Amino acid sequence: MAPGASQKDLSSWDPYYDRIVEAVKTTYPELSAESHDELLASIQSNFPETFVGDTKAVLGLVMRVATPLIANKRRQLWEANKASILPMIRKTMPPAAREFEIYYTTTLLNQIFERFYPETWSTVDEIPEKLKGLVKEVVSTAVAQIMTRDGELRDEELVRLYKSGYEKCKTMLLERYATMLHDLAPRIIYAKSLCPSMEDPPQFAKDVAQEVSLKLLQKFGSYKVDSKFETWVGSIIENEAKTLGARKQFGRAKAGPRTYISFEDLERELADPVIPIIKLREHREILRKALQKHRAGGIKDAKSADAIELRYIEELETSDIAKRIGTTDSYVARLFSDDYPKLRQILTDDFGLTGTEL
C-alpha cells in the first residue's frame, strides 16, 4: 500500500494498487521517489470508491490526476525560484542583445522553463543549482544561434526582432546590407556571368546593387525566416541582374553593342605610331572633342587642353610644349596631372570611355 493510504479507501484501492503503480512508472519513468509517493497519494485521495475498470481505464485515471498535479507543482516551484536566475541571464547576455533585454529575458526564461522538471530531481533543495546549470546551457546555446562571430545579431534574428515589434531592426538590417551589397552583388554577378557583354561590369554591379536596395525595402515583409537572409538577398540580386541585363540589351538592340576602351589605352594608342590609321583617327577625334569641351572651363582649363592636345595630337615633348605656350616644364606637368581627372570624366560621360577594360 502507498504511504498515507487511508483504511476507508482500502476496499476499492487495494485491488488496483499494482496496476496504478505500473501506470505511473510507465507514464512518468523519471519521477523522483518523493514525487512518486506524492503522486500516488494524490491518486488514492481521488480514487473512486466504486471504481471498476481495466488497465486502460486505470491509465486514464492516472493521467487525469497526475497531469494537472505535476503541472501545478512545477509552476509553483518555478515562480518561487524564477527571480533568482534573472541576474544570471542579464549578465550572460551579449552586448548586442542587451538593447532588446526585455525580449531576450522573456524568451530565455521560456526556454529554461521548458527544461525545468523539478519532479525528477531528488529534492526541492536541488532546484537552485539545477537552475544555474540550465541557465548556462540554455543561454550558451541561444547565443550561438543568434550571434555572428563578430558579435553582431544575425540577419535572421534582426528579422525576428522586427516581427516582434522592434521597428528599428529593419533599418539596422537594411543599413547593414546597403554596405554588403557592394561586395555581394558583384560576387554573384561575376560567379553566374550575369553581366551583358556590352556593359561595364563594375558599373553594372553598382546599378544592380542600387536596384536591390530598393527591392529589399519593398519586399522585406515577404521574407520568411526559413532560410538564410543572405541567400534570400542573393536570389533577388540574381533576378534583378537578369532583368536589368535584359532591359539594357533590349534598349541597345538597334544601336548595337556599346564599345568601351580605357583612358590609359587611349593614351597609349595616341602615342603608338603603329596603330592602324582609321582607329587612330577615331580616337584622335574623340580626344579633340573632349579637349574642346574641357577648354571652355576657364583660362587654366584652356591651357591644359592646349598642352594635352600638343602632347597627344601633335606628339610634342614636354619642353617643346612649354616653349609653345610660354611656360615651364614643371607647369606643363602640373597641367597634365591636375586636369586628367576632369578630362577623364568628360570622356566617360560623353563618349562612353571607362577606366575598366572589358
pLDDT in tens, 176-187: 998 899 999 999
d(CA 42, CA 33): 14
Cell numbers standing for residue 214: 530598393
User: What is the number of other CB atoms lying within 10 angstroms of the CB of residue 253?
Assistant: 9
User: What is the number of other CB atoms lying within 10 angstroms of the CB of residue 118?
Assistant: 20
* Each residue's pLDDT tens digit, 65-88: 888 999 999 999 999 999 999 999
Which domain does 194 fall in, by range?
Answer: 162-251
Cell numbers standing for residue 218: 519593398
Among the candidates 153, 177, 198, a domain finishes at: 153
Tell me, yes or no, whether 199 and 128 share the same domain. Answer: no
Tell me, yes or no, whether 148 and 183 share the same domain. Answer: no
Query: What CATH number should be reported for the domain holding residue 207?
Result: 1.10.1740.10
Among the candidates 216, 251, 286, a domain finishes at: 251
Tell me, yes or no, whether 10 and 148 share the same domain. Answer: yes
Per the CB < 8 A criterion, the answer to whether 159 and 169 are in contact is yes
336 pLDDT more than 80: no
Q: From residue 45, give the alpha-carbon distance in Å to each of 6, 210, 242, 243.
A: 8, 72, 74, 74
Q: Rounded to the nearest 10 degrees, what angle do helices 101-113 and 55-92 cross at?
A: 150
Q: Which residues contact 60 (CB under 8 A, 6 or more apart)?
A: none
* Each residue's pLDDT tens digit, 110-141: 999 999 999 999 888 999 999 999 999 999 99
d(CA 17, CA 353): 94
Among the candidates 193, 225, 251, a domain finishes at: 251
356 inside domain: no
Tell me, yes or no, whether 326 and 280 share the same domain. Answer: yes
Could you tell me how far CA 75 lies from the centroid of its own chain?
37
* Overall number of domains in the chain: 3
Interval 267-293 mean pLDDT: 56
Tell me, yes or no, whether 51 and 73 share the same domain. Answer: yes
